[in-house]
Amino acid sequence: MRMLKFLLQKELKQIFRDPGIIRVLFIMPMVQLLILPLAADYEIKNINLGVVDHDHTEYSRKLVNKIVASGYFRLKDYSPTFKQGLKAIELDKTDLILEIPAHFERDLVDENKSTLFVAVDAINGVKAGLGGAYVQQIIGDYNQDVRDQWIQTPRYDEQPTIDVVSSDWYNPNMNYRVFMVPGILVMLVTMIGSSFAANNIVREKEMGTIEQINVSPIKKYQFILGKLIPFWLLAISILTIGLIIARVIYGIVPLGSYFTIYAFASIYLIAILGLGLLLSTYAQTQQQSMLVSFFVTMIFNLLSGLYTPIESMPVWAQWVTKFNPVSYFIEVMRMVMLKGSGLADIGFQILAILGFAVFFNGWAILNYSKRTG
Amino acid sequence: MKQFLIFVKKEWLHIWRDRRTLFILIWMPIVQIILYGFALTNEVKNSNIAIFDQSRDEATIQISDEIAASRYFNLVKNVYSYKDIGATFRKGKIRMAIVFPKNFRYDLLHSNRAQIQLIADASDPNTANTLTNYASSIINDYQQAVNQNAELPYTINTQVRMLYNPELKGAYGFVPGVMALVLMLVCTMMTSIAIVKEKEMGTMEVILVSPLKPFRIIIAKAVPYLFVSLLNIISILLLSVYVLGVPIVGSIWLLMAESTLFTLTSLSLGILISNSAQTQQTAMFISMMSLFLPTLLFSGFLFPIENMPWPLQVISNVVPSKWYYIIVKNIMIKGLGFESVWQETTILIGMTAALLGISIYKFKIRLA
């Protein structure tokens, strides 16, 4: 125990006497947490609309006004022919063309029906799907307006009609930031925690100071614990700062309890720091450990469900995410902060992450050898 | 010229004889393209849903069946109370719940009006919206079948055509983005240690006393890596077409030429980093860690750039992969010709020239 105390003293001094580290550890995550959520906004709004109006009547103008007034669309292009409208899509000026055929108003009034054409740039499937659906919804409303104008609404519905009412739980304003901030915070804590842990033992190897530890009576587990605890404390304080930023700047108040978040984070950090230490027991130079941790970081980052939903991935990639500790923490963070899940709801995730913690740290202790070469 | 060729040969042997690094440089992009090309997509499918059916009649069962049979939904649970819905959401098991009220069919046939409630987990807003739309359109189809297409007066039909990507596949938007991301990171990393390595090893001195001009030294460093990059481009394009199923609609030669230009830009960026850094470690840190997030975010394939606040939109303009992403989309997927990408091409050429210019200007012919 006394031995551990001295080790901790040494590690903490090493960290706090290097002003560069403190700067990187605290300023970098804060700046990133302030900037990244602004960039990571996937709300579908501001769809650029191109209109090809062959009709030029009151009706066609009313329709266009109604679409623009909805707030989802911005009128960016008014072309005389469809071909020219298409040109605007090719140049990325517009995302969606609404073509109103000639005699739109006359057909609608005289022949009781009329057809509109919509063409969507579908390279971005989600944006196209939602844009098309919005436009159809607005046209449907407009259609109802026209009908109300011509026929008196009967007291009873003449045809069986199903009303679809949708409600959006947990994020009724559909604010994308509420979704991204908890995930980004997890990513920052992970990247900083693991990369510093990964570099730490290697640095002692490169500087030659590991020799001194190897000839001392320090036990292997004491050595690993001595490395783990200081970084654990640092990461927890970064998490705390992040949660404060989320609350003060982004106004995200967790629906669940902070206790649940910290309980999960404590175990999670042991796992992720263990992984960092494990990598550094294998690497011989800081360069090697950096290459490997970059590759791991990239996979952790992109296959974590932070940017794209895990259910959309092919089955084998979903299996990869099961071996990615980050994906569990992101899931838990979103569940607790947005949906108010409690400890009982995240039982499975806690077990999984406990498994990771035992596995990585056990392996790191086994693999750390006090012999050189 | 002869000196130059000899120098290129020297650089080439450096790469060729370090088989392990060469192996990594060629395989890394392949693995990454496959991994991220398949896994990164926001196509919504197989979303888990629960149904709370308080009526359990012919109509609700038929609607439930149709929803469960569609490829967008995966019915995992029948729930029996609103409280249950909340609990299932909190466990993270479902994305949406569908609620049928009591006497659904009776109301539909007798008072001609019945209600279905869709409750979406909007913590992910886009998925919630997409799911609500899909479910509504399935319910709508059912309703039209019930009405036997009886026509209402004054009806506006809307025909929607999805251009370029009729099946709304996620890969069409993501694969060009992954191409830009991987090419940019790999090519920058390759050259970023080229010059600084000579500084660290002490061989820089030998090069500096040679009669070669800085301009030629820098170009000679880049040429062998350009060949490796060409190999990477070819393998990435083959994978995109044959493994990821994204066709090349436009001219393949134009696409190759533009890709070569883009790798030149990235190689030049790497050279500039290598020139400014003092240690290989710093060079690698800059080219990997600090380029990863900007490339990922500002290419525009994960998050639309037009949604960002304007300072970030301005910053995105200096990220070469943003321009390459536009070029690839236009040529590969929209099938457009050079006239549609000349602006982006000019920007990439300008960036390459500027990066190389700064490197040559900053190249020190004296050791510190």
pLDDT in tens, B331-352: 998 888 898 899 999 999 999 9
- Give the tens place of pLDDT for each residue, B244-277: 888 899 899 999 999 999 999 999 999 998 888 8
B105 close contact with A: CB closer than 8 A: no
Together in a domain, A126 and A224: no
* Burial state string for B78-111 with b = 16 or more CB within 10 A and e = fewer than 16: ebeeeeebbebbbbbebbbbbbbeeebbebbeee
Together in a domain, A212 and A348: yes
Question: Would you state the pLDDT for residue A355?
Answer: 94
Report if residue A326 sits inside a domain.
yes
* Domain end (from A101, A116, A150): A150
Report if residue A373 sits inside a domain.
no
Give the distance from residue B277's alpha carbon to the nearest chain A alpha carbon, in angstroms: 14
The number of domains in chain A is: 2
Question: Would you state the pLDDT for residue B321?
Answer: 92
User: How far is residue A16's CA from residue A311's CA, in Å, rounded to a whole number?
Assistant: 43
Give the distance from residue B335's alpha carbon to the nearest chain A alpha carbon, in angstroms: 10
Please list every residue in chain B whose beta carbon sits closer than 8 Å to the beta carbon of residue A130.
Answer: 126, 129-130, 133
User: How far is residue A196's CA from residue A218's CA, in Å, rounded to a whole number?
Assistant: 22
User: How far is residue A355's CA from residue B191's CA, in Å, rounded to a whole number?
Assistant: 40
Range of the domain at A77: 47-150
B170 close contact with A: CB closer than 8 A: yes
Give the distance from residue B9's alpha carbon to the nearest chain A alpha carbon, in angstroms: 27
CA trace torsion A261, A341, A305, A276 (10° rounding): 30
C-beta of residue B188 within 8 angstroms of C-beta of residue B269 = yes
Please list every residue in chain B whose beta carbon sits closer than 8 Å to the beta carbon of residue A159.
Answer: 112, 147, 150, 152
Together in a domain, A20 and A69: no
Q: Is B47 helix (H, G, I), strand (E, B) or coil?
A: strand
User: How far is residue A94's CA from residue A39's CA, in Å, rounded to a whole number?
Assistant: 21
Together in a domain, A345 and A276: yes
Question: Would you state the pLDDT for residue A45?
Answer: 76
- From A22, A11, A139, A165, select the one nearest B113 (Cα to Cα): A165
Q: What domains sit in chain B, N to C, each tagged with a CATH number?
A: 11-41+169-362 (no CATH), 47-146 (3.40.1710.10)
Please list every residue in chain B whose beta carbon sits closer than 8 Å to the beta carbon of residue A150.
Answer: 153-154
Report if residue A164 sits inside a domain.
no
Question: Would you state the pLDDT for residue B262?
Answer: 95
- Give the tens place of pLDDT for each residue, A56-102: 888 888 889 999 998 889 898 888 999 898 888 888 889 999 999 88
Residue B102 gets which letter from DSSP?
T
Going by pLDDT thresholds of 50, 70 and 90, the confidence category of residue B353 is: very high
% of chain A surpassing 90 pLDDT: 14
Kindly identify which residue of chain B lies nearest to residue A115, measuring between CA atoms.
B157
Together in a domain, A23 and A59: no
Question: Would you state the pLDDT for residue A351?
Answer: 93
B122 close contact with A: CB closer than 8 A: yes
* Overall average pLDDT of the B183-198 stretch: 85
Question: Would you state the pLDDT for residue B86?
Answer: 86
Higher pLDDT, A373 or B287: B287
Residue B338 gets which letter from DSSP?
G
A276 pLDDT more than 60: yes
Report if residue A266 sits inside a domain.
yes
Together in a domain, A195 and A342: yes
Report if residue A319 sits inside a domain.
yes
Together in a domain, A54 and A32: no
Together in a domain, A199 and A280: yes
Question: Would you state the pLDDT for residue B331?
Answer: 92
Together in a domain, A253 and A189: yes
What residues are paired with B163 via a beta bridge? A121
Measured between its terminal Cα atoms, the distance across chain B in Å is 29
% of chain B surpassing 70 pLDDT: 97
Going by pLDDT thresholds of 50, 70 and 90, the confidence category of residue B149 is: low
Higher pLDDT, A269 or B363: A269
CATH of the domain at A55: 3.40.1710.10
Sign, CA dihedral B88-A173-B158-A98, equals negative
Give the distance from residue A223's alpha carbon to the nearest chain B alpha carbon, in angstroms: 26
A273 pLDDT more than 70: yes
Together in a domain, A120 and A63: yes
Q: Which of B160, B243, B287 to mutate to test the interface with A (most CBs of A within 10 A)?
A: B160
Report if residue A165 sits inside a domain.
no
pLDDT, chain B, mean: 86
Question: Would you state the pLDDT for residue A157?
Answer: 61
- Give the tens place of pLDDT for each residue, A134-183: 898 898 888 888 888 877 766 566 677 777 788 888 877 778 888 888 98
Question: Would you state the pLDDT for residue B255?
Answer: 93
Together in a domain, A120 and A69: yes
Question: Would you state the pLDDT for residue A372?
Answer: 56
Report if residue A314 sits inside a domain.
yes
Question: pTM to 2 decimals?
Answer: 0.84
Going by pLDDT thresholds of 50, 70 and 90, the confidence category of residue A329 is: very high
Together in a domain, A255 and A182: yes
Report if residue A166 sits inside a domain.
no
- Give the tens place of pLDDT for each residue, A204-216: 887 788 888 888 8
Answer yes or no: do B42 and A308 touch at CB < 8 A.
Answer: yes
C-beta of residue B192 within 8 angstroms of C-beta of residue B277 = yes
